[in-house]
Amino acid sequence: MKQFERKVLAFIEKEELVTSGQRILIACSGGVDSVALLLFMANHQQQLGIEVGAVHVDHMLRGEESKEDGRFVKELCEQLKVPFYGGSVPVPEIVEREGGNLQMICREGRYEFFKRILKSHRYDALATAHHAEDQLETVLMQISKGSLPEGMLPVRKMEQGILIRPFLLAKKGELYAYTVQKGAIFREDPSNDSDAYLRNRIRHHIVPLLLSENPAAALNSVKMTKKLQQDDDLLMQLSLKQFQSVVTISEKGFPTVQQHRFAAMHPALQTRLIPLLLKYLYNGESIPVEFTHDLLEQLQYHMQSAEGNVSIDLPRGLRFVREYGRISIVKDEKVNCEDVILLPKGIWTRWADVLFYWNTIEADGVGHADAASEHRFFNLSESELPLYVRGKQNGDRILLPGMTKPKRLSRLFIDEKIGALQREKQPVLLTAQHEICAVPGIRYGTRFTHQWTGREKYIFKMKEASSPNLGREEFRC
């Protein structure tokens, strides 16, 4: 057993699973694997410089029998003189009330309890008894589902603390022998014998065959996944660098991606940048967002291609949009500014996400135009003022410089390569006689000039609503 202990201690040191002074919470079901882990960690507290406690969750699936599992773990903790934390999750009630996957409900309930104990009793890490055969099973499950066979990590971050797997390089038989050698008993969960679950079917029918062909198959899976995890770590670091150069974040926190830059990236970096993009978007959500393999593939396909325009709905009311070589993630919200809104002279007035302003040059001055993201000078008669704004409508036209007939806005949007997303929110500027005189941000009519010639009486300005130092504002919608 000394050889087994040395191997586990070396693995803990190599993977830096614990540091002196940490408090480690052992997840113990009462089965042989978790009992072995509890024994090992409790017996090596002084050597590792740690404090150990144990946590057990009753899923209430086997009545008195599952209650007895908890009592068994509690008695073991008393013998080892380590703190015990027990709890229960009413899985049968949850399944009857909400339905869903039994194993998933058990796992979510179990880890929610673990998280509470970690936080309330100030433990630094949760330790689980996953071993080499568990890693082989995980790899086979990932392959069957079309995922990369990267297996389980020796250590990973949790919402509360970290999760460590000190036995990942150990074999099931070694854990059994260690428990017996220590004179400890353990309990067996009858559900482990059922072929109702994929992991159990792999455990009972596939893993034994592989181990009969090569007894080192489980350990080989641990070594293989380690290399794949190292490769993934390197690619993820490269993807983070690409993220900073390819993705631009707006003032409102929404990202845009230059399609040609993304398409030039190696596919291995593309597949990692997309989850990074989505994780950035959903950071802080109280409900975790799960992305299916199909969605990730769909996004990668449309981000690689530049043909046509695409819009894809995403969770939480967000939308992926590719328009004219530009990729954006936007909040899928409608502009409720269909009414005609008055723009009072000399006052910044908000319409959707932009602010408009107009005044006489005599009152405002030409130099103040620099305070806006866009400005124009114009002349209109007194009967054509004040200015108004509304959303674009079917049939709208504008007379542009150099043209003898008004041009349809629908045609203008096509010529200027204005995407559907911007068209939905595009304002138009009206005279008091409801004539369209400008499409701010795109084109201005014959009454407007870019430079002040000395003959224009008025100045028009536009700026994003989130821009600072705008002075007095009126919010109209």
pLDDT at 396 over 90: yes
Q: What is the pLDDT of residue 351?
A: 83
For 408-433, b/e burial (b = at least 16 CB within 10 A) is ebeebbeeeebbebbeebbbbbbbee
pLDDT average, residue stretch 318-328: 83
Q: What is the pLDDT of residue 311?
A: 82
pLDDT average, residue stretch 374-378: 93
State the average pLDDT for the chain.
88
φ/ψ bin of 306: left (φ > 0), alpha (ψ from -120 to 50), beta (otherwise) = alpha
Contact 167, 179 (CB under 8 A): no
Q: What is the pLDDT of residue 339?
A: 75
Residue type at 186?
Answer: F
pLDDT at 66 over 80: yes
Task: From residue 195, give the alpha-carbon distance in Å to each of 108, 138, 203, 259, 465.
Answer: 21, 16, 9, 47, 60
pLDDT at 308 over 70: yes
Rounded to an integer, what distance in angstroms lies between the CA atom of residue 153 and that of residue 133?
14
Q: At 306, is the pLDDT very low, low, confident or very high (cuts 50, 70, 90)?
A: confident
Q: What is the pTM of this model?
A: 0.70
> Which carries the bigger pLDDT value, residue 403 or residue 325?
403
Q: What is the pLDDT of residue 336?
A: 52
Contact 133, 171 (CB under 8 A): yes
pLDDT average, residue stretch 466-471: 46
Q: What is the pLDDT of residue 287?
A: 45
Q: Is the Cα dihedral 408, 410, 411, 413 positive or negative?
A: positive
pLDDT average, residue stretch 3-30: 96
> Which carries the bigger pLDDT value, residue 106 or residue 38?
38
pLDDT at 476 over 60: no
Q: What percent of the chain has pLDDT over 90?
A: 59
pLDDT average, residue stretch 307-311: 79
What would the pLDDT profile of 417-432 be if each residue is shown by its tens digit?
887 777 877 899 999 9
What would the pLDDT profile of 218-277 be if each residue is shown by its tens digit?
999 999 999 999 999 999 999 999 998 899 888 777 888 988 899 999 999 999 998 888
pLDDT at 472 over 70: no
pLDDT average, residue stretch 351-356: 84
pLDDT at 109 over 60: yes
pLDDT at 320 over 90: no
What is the DSSP annotation of 318-341?
EEEEEETTEEEEEE-------S-E
pLDDT average, residue stretch 84-101: 87
How are the residues of the chain apportioned to helix, strand and coil, as percentages rounded to the nearest 5?
A: 45, 20, 35
pLDDT at 5 over 50: yes
Q: What is the pLDDT of residue 462?
A: 92
Cis peptide, bond prior to residue 386, ω within 30 of zero: yes
Contact 463, 373 (CB under 8 A): yes
Helix (H, G, I), strand (E, B) or coil at 21: coil
Q: At 1, is the pLDDT very low, low, confident or very high (cuts 50, 70, 90)?
A: low
Q: Name the CA dihedral angle for 297, 302, 303, 304, rounded to a multiple of 10 degrees.
A: 90
Contact 350, 476 (CB under 8 A): yes
208-212, 282-286, 348-352, 471-475: least confident range:
471-475
> Which carries the bigger pLDDT value, residue 475 or residue 288?
288
> Which carries the bigger pLDDT value, residue 468 or residue 301?
301
Helix (H, G, I), strand (E, B) or coil at 397: strand
Q: What is the pLDDT of residue 338?
A: 61
